[in-house]
Amino acid sequence: MNPSRDGSNSSHGNRGESPGVYDRTSEKWRKYPADVLPLFVAEMDFELAPAVSQALYDAIERSDTGYAWPPALREIFSRYAKNCFDWTVPAERVFVVNDVMGGVTETLRALTQPGDGVAIMPPVYPPFFEIVRTAERHVVEVELLRDGMQYAINWDGLERAFARHAKALLLCHPHNPVGHVFARAELERLAALARSYGVLVISDEIHAPLVYPGAAHVPFVMVAEPQGIDSVTLMSASKGWNIAGLKCAQMIAGSSRVHERFKQLPADVTDRIGHLGVIATAAAYADGSSWLRTTLNRLDENRRLLATLLARQLPQIGYGVPDATYLAWLDCRALDLGDDPAQAFIDRGKVALSHGPDFGAAGRGFTRFNFATTPEIISEAVSRMALSA
């Protein structure tokens, strides 16, 4: 099968994809020409959760498209956090913002000073680099340690960064792109280290809903608050329920001091959120759990399918099956495609993957593959990659 962007050879019906997936107008489907398989940006090719679709349909039907009013969402998020993570979140500590990176920017501005060092652990989500600089802070890179395709925190490097100049740590948990879910013991050690040096921890937990069986997501604040350190957790339904374009995220104050500072944030921080985003997010958290379980089962099958296909057609590529996310981090260095193998795959095979060097120097020779699509597209993509390697 050769999937095409006009949908002529696809099998949407038997896997639940929208018949109009190839007609979508989001960045994923419009950045590249129609003969390119787009597997770069982190969004899914699946239909929306019925609860989310219905909530949006109902809002449009009643012309409910005014300014956002998020208080009810705070209560809904608190219930979601308790049900999913056994995390007790006072509703008053939940602040609704436009997106996770916007929340990170506002946190840095509110709780650190211009010129402060902010530690990040590459290879990591590319906007981490930019967002720190946008807030006029200094990026301090502490690369993860790699053993094959397994990654771990560089504890010695992190302590050196804290001791010298890092006043904050921007944590990606679960980690994008390597798919690691930090265990409670790792988080407790991290919290203790941050406490020793008075470091603020900002935890981007946008992929928390997308953790596979065998791993468990522990919000960082659950280990941080008992140790008396300042932290901020950022979550959103945008990745788990595929509603990134609706612009709604939650910024949770992890201590009383942080809560007091957040209460002084400018009004325009919360004014930027979209009303439809609030409506969709509330529906996802309140009524979207069944859809999410089904979606995780599909993604679980896809992550294993990708492993099988790579082992068969591209055994030179290193792939550690992720514990979370629908993103595969691929070590392509043995293929001798240079620092940016994604460029070779798009030029030669018409497969658009994420460029490894964008994730930091540790991403040279790597690429990121989004497997939140049909098995047919995954198979076609790997076949094209094999022909172009």
The encoded tokens of residue 19 equal 């018949």
Q: Are residues 273 and 326 in the same domain?
A: no
User: Which H or E run includes 316?
Assistant: none
C-beta neighbour count of 215 within 10 angstroms? 16
Q: Are residues 154 and 297 in the same domain?
A: no
For the chain, what is the domain count? 2
- Give 362's DSSP letter: G
- The separation between the first and the last C-alpha atoms of the chain, rounded to the nearest angstrom, is 20
Tell me what pLDDT residue 6 has.
Answer: 42
Segments forming the whole domain that contains residue 255: 67-287
Q: Are residues 135 and 251 in the same domain?
A: yes
d(CA 71, CA 109): 24
Contacts of 355 (CB under 8 A, 6+ apart): 340, 342, 343, 363, 367
Say which CATH number the domain at 331 has: 3.90.1150.10
What is the rounded average pLDDT of the residues 359-388? 98
pLDDT digits (tens, 9 = 90+) for 117-168: 999 999 999 999 999 999 999 999 999 999 989 999 999 999 999 999 999 9
d(CA 106, CA 137): 12
Q: Is residue 73 part of a domain?
A: yes
Phi/psi for 113 (5° steps) reads -110, 150
C-beta neighbour count of 153 within 10 angstroms? 19
Q: Are residues 36 and 94 in the same domain?
A: no
Length of the chain: 389
What is the rounded average pLDDT of the residues 359-377? 98
What is the rounded average pLDDT of the residues 322-333? 99
Residue 343, pLDDT above cutoff 70: yes
- Please compute, for residue 55, the number of CA atoms within 13 A of its CA located in the half-sphere on the CB side: 21
Q: Is residue 148 part of a domain?
A: yes
Q: Is residue 358 part of a domain?
A: yes
Q: Is residue 15 part of a domain?
A: no
Q: Are residues 120 and 258 in the same domain?
A: yes
Q: Are residues 156 and 188 in the same domain?
A: yes
Average pLDDT, the chain: 94
pLDDT digits (tens, 9 = 90+) for 216-262: 999 999 999 999 999 999 999 999 999 999 999 999 999 999 999 99
Q: Is residue 1 part of a domain?
A: no
Q: Are residues 235 and 142 in the same domain?
A: yes
d(CA 29, CA 21): 9
Give 319's strand partners: 330
C-beta neighbour count of 32 within 10 angstroms? 17
Q: Are residues 185 and 138 in the same domain?
A: yes
Tell me what pLDDT residue 271 has.
Answer: 82
d(CA 36, CA 45): 15
User: Which H or E run includes 223?
Assistant: helix 221-224
pLDDT digits (tens, 9 = 90+) for 49-102: 999 999 999 999 999 999 999 999 999 999 999 999 999 999 999 999 999 999
Last residue of a domain, one of 287, 308, 329: 287
Residue 23, pLDDT above cutoff 90: no
Tell me what pLDDT residue 22 has.
Answer: 76
Helix axes 375-388, 289-313, angle to 10 degrees: 30
Q: Are residues 268 and 322 in the same domain?
A: no
Say which CATH number the domain at 190 has: 3.40.640.10
Q: Are 188 and 336 in contact (CB under 8 A)?
A: no
Q: Are residues 173 and 269 in the same domain?
A: yes
Last residue of a domain, one of 263, 287, 311: 287
Q: Is residue 165 part of a domain?
A: yes
- Give 14's DSSP letter: T
Going from the C-alpha of 41 to that of each of 29, 150, 174, the distances in angstroms are 10, 23, 17
d(CA 331, CA 364): 9
Last residue of a domain, one of 248, 264, 287: 287
Query: pTM for the complete prediction?
Result: 0.94
Range in 71-75, 197-201, 224-228, 266-270 with the lowest mean pLDDT: 266-270
Residue 19 — pLDDT band, cuts 50, 70, 90? low
Q: Is residue 153 part of a domain?
A: yes
d(CA 247, CA 231): 23
Q: Are residues 368 and 239 in the same domain?
A: no
d(CA 127, CA 202): 14
Tell me what pLDDT residue 78 has.
Answer: 98
Q: Are residues 117 and 177 in the same domain?
A: yes
d(CA 167, CA 175): 21
Q: Is residue 146 part of a domain?
A: yes
